[in-house]
A = this chain, B = another copy of it.
Amino acid sequence: MVPEFQAIQDDYPDDFAHCYGCGRLNKDGLQLRTGWGKNDETVTLYHPRNSHIAIPGFVYGGLLASVVDCHGTGSAALMKHRLNGYEPGDDEPAPRFVTASLQLEYLKPTPHNVELMAIGKVEEIHPKKFKVHIQVFAGTEHCVTGEVVAVQAPSSFSRK
C-alpha cells in the first residue's frame, strides 16, 4: 500500500532513483517515500517485512537504520526543493542528498507487525548540507531517536 501523499522520491531523476532504501526503480528495495507532514515536519511510513526482525516480535535495528537513513536524505531533499521554490509533484527534478553521518539511539525494542512512522525536523547547516532530527514510532510508541547529516550529491554521482 502506497501512502496517499506526494513523496520527494517520486521526483528524483531516474539516475538517482535506484537506492535500495528509497529508489522507486529498485524493485527489491524498501521503496521508502518521504513527504511533508504537519508543522513543517517530514514523514516516512513503512511496514516492515516478515523477515525484518532482530528477535521474533521485534524489528531489526539495521532496518530502522535504513528507514532513518533514507528519511534523512529525503527530508533534506524536501527542504532544499522547497527553498528552491518547489514542492513534490511540481514536475521539477528534486535535488538528491547523500548521507555523511548517521546516528541512532534505540530507546526500546521496536514491536514488529506495526507500521513505522519516521518524523523529521530539518535544520540547515549550509545551503548544501542539512541536519535532520528524527524520531521513529511503531504505532504510538517512540522507539528510536536518530540524526542524519545529509549533503547534496555532486553531479559526478550521476551516470550521465
* Residues of chain A at the chain B interface (Cβ within 8 Å): 15-16, 18-21, 26-29, 49, 51-58, 60-63, 65-67, 69-70, 98-106, 109, 153, 157-159
CA distance A157 to B58 in the complex (A): 9
Residue in contact with A19 in the complex, picked from B60, B102, B159, CB distance below 8 Å: B60
A50 to chain B, nearest CB (A): 8
Copy count, this protein chain: 2
Q: Taking A51-B26, A53-B19, A54-B20 as contacts, is the C-beta distance between A99 and B106 under 8 angstroms?
A: yes
Residue in contact with A157 in the complex, picked from B26, B51, B55, CB distance below 8 Å: B55
CA distance A16 to B58 in the complex (A): 11
Q: Taking A19-B55, A51-B26 as contacts, is the C-beta distance between A103 and B106 under 8 angstroms?
A: no
